[in-house]
């Protein structure tokens, strides 16, 4: 069947704002356990997670891909042909690599001090921020508090009116 969603409305005549497409999303504190954060990412199939500072304000984004990068030894990243040889031991040791580490320890440098989008930012403004930062998600702040999160896939759905 034909979808009637958005029929007759030119795109963005009604300004879609960040708070309208922000979703509830788990967050982790910067000094919390990295292994627990990794499990949260895995269990909920999240593209990343917002990291809050000691005051509970959005501080950084920890992409799932960064956690993957952290558990794969550098020499395997440099020479992927080694991955076949090491696959089982690396998998066995991935939890070990994260044990005793905090979220702060595994954060990528370029996603620290990530600006949050204001609740009234447009979809295009959020998209520009996401593209510039190479971030899988952007925190949305309203009245200084974390309002929710916009993932790249959620943003695409809003932009494409899916």
In three-state form (DSSP H/G/I as H, E/B as E, the rest C), the secondary structure along the chain is CCCCCCCCCCCCCCCCEHHHHCECCCEEECCCEHHHHHHHHHHCCCCEEEEECCCCCEEEEEEHHHHHHHHCCHHHHHCCHHHHHHHHHHHHHHHHHHCCCEHHHHCCHHHECCCCEECCCEHHHHHHHHHHHCCCEEEEEECCEEEEEEEHHHHHHHHCCC
pLDDT reported for residue 89: 62
Of the listed ranges 8-22, 87-101, 147-161, the least confidently predicted one is 8-22
The per-residue pLDDT for range 6-51, each reduced to its tens digit, is 444 445 446 789 999 999 888 999 999 999 999 999 999 999 999 9
pLDDT reported for residue 4: 47
pLDDT reported for residue 73: 76
């Amino acid at each position: 069947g034909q979808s009637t969603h958005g029929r007759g409305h030119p795109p963005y005549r009604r300004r879609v704002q960040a708070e309208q497409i922000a979703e509830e999303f788990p967050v982790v504190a910067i000094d919390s356990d990295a292994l627990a954060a990794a499990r949260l990412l895995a269990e909920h199939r999240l593209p990343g997670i917002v990291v809050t500072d000691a005051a509970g304000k959005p501080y950084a984004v920890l992409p799932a891909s960064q956690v993957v990068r952290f558990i794969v030894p550098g020499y395997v990243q440099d020479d992927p042909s080694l991955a076949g040889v090491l696959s089982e031991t690396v998998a066995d040791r991935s939890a070990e690599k994260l044990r005793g580490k905090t979220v702060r320890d595994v954060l990528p440098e370029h996603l620290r001090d990530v600006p949050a989008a204001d609740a009234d930012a447009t979809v295009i403004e959020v998209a520009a921020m996401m593209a510039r930062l190479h971030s899988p998600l952007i925190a949305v702040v309203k009245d200084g508090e974390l309002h929710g999160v916009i993932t790249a896939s959620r943003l695409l759905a809003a932009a494409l009116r899916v």
